Amino acid sequence: MRALFFASLMVSAGVVFAETESLAVAQTEIERADQAGRNAQQRIDRLDDQAQALLNEYRQIKAETDQLSLYNRQMTAIVEDQESELASLARQILEIERTERGILPLMSRMLDTLDEFVALDVPFLPQERSARVALLRDMMVRGDVAIAEKFRRVLEAYQIEIDYGRNIESYRGQVDNISYDFLRIGRVALYRLSNDGSQAWLWSVENQQWQLLDSGYLRDLRKALKVAQQVAAPELLVLPMPTQGVAQ
């Protein structure tokens, strides 16, 4: 009985030992599986971080690509506009060159006409008007003055001549080195008065000479001279006007 009990006890011990060993092995396997799971999770986390980083990089690259695409479209539009502008400038330059070839002779003819007009006109401000034409002729050959400025100055000279026919003016001038007061009524009449106011003349366009006026006109002429000088108020005056060769 003792032998049987001992044998039974040994069998039970062996079973317990075997179960304990199996439990230890199972525990080890569980720990290994646990560790493997943690390692796998870490790899998954790393892969997720890498995927997120790649996604962020992709989004950034895409945004930069979109910006570059927009920039390229804008630059293409700008370049096309500049090319169109250059073509337009080239056409304008060609037109300007053609215009210059035509406008320079035109301005020369305009100055010839203006010079002839001044010579044939009523002889008021002769030095000033002749000097203006001479200065314009000198300017025509200057390379530092633009064509547009030359043309503007010629037109300005014509405008000045036009304005002479619309206003009255008094000025001090000389005839044969003798000083006189001159009164211009547009281009209708030109008078000169002696400094002492005792004599007056009217320019005769027909005879191209000064005609002595009757002394009865002196009072009104002196008043008209003051009106032109803006030292007297305008009033109705009786002045002689040039007619067929005589002053009436």
Residue 235: phi and psi, rounded to 5, are -155, 165
Considering only 42-46, 183-187, 227-231, 242-246, which range has the smallest mean pLDDT? 242-246
pTM of the predicted model, to two decimals?
A: 0.59
What's the CA gap between 104 and 90, in Å, rounded?
21
List pLDDT tens digits, range 13-38: 555 556 677 777 777 878 787 787 78
CA dihedral 161, 165, 169, 171 (to 10 degrees): 40
Question: Which residue has 């530092």 as its token pair?
Answer: 144
pLDDT tier, 246 (very low <50, low <70, confident <90, very high otherwise) = very low
CA angle 143, 147, 152 (to 5 degrees): 125
- Confidence class for position 248, pLDDT limits 50, 70, 90: very low
Distances (CA, A) of 173 to 18, 190, 191, 198, 220: 147, 12, 12, 17, 20
Q: Has residue 190 got a pLDDT over 50? A: yes
In the prediction, which pLDDT does 50 show? 84
Closest CA to 202 of 165, 240, 236, 147: 240
Report yes or no: 182 and 192 within 8 Å, Cβ to Cβ.
Answer: yes
Check residues 51 and 226 and name the one with the higher pLDDT: 226
Q: Who has greater pLDDT, 10 or 197? A: 197
DSSP string, 35-99: HHHHHHHHHHHHHHHHHHHHHHHHHHHHHHHHHHHHHHHHHHHHHHHHHHHHHHHHHHHHHHHHH
**Selected residue with higher pLDDT from 13 and 73:** 73
**According to the model, what pLDDT value does residue 16 have?**
54
**Which residues on neighbouring strands pair with residue 174, listed in sequence order?**
179
Is pLDDT at 247 greater than 50 in this prediction? no
How many C-beta atoms surround the C-beta of residue 199 within 10 A? 14
Question: Of all helices (H) and strands (E), which one includes residue 111?
Answer: helix 2-120
What are 119-152's pLDDT values in tens digits? Answer: 999 999 999 999 999 999 999 999 899 888 999 9
For range 167-181, the mean pLDDT: 92
Q: Three-state SS for 158?
A: helix
Run of H or E including 184: strand 178-185
Task: Give the CB-side neighbour count of residue 10, counting CA atoms within 13 A.
Answer: 6
For CA atoms 231, 233, 236, 241, the dihedral sign is: positive
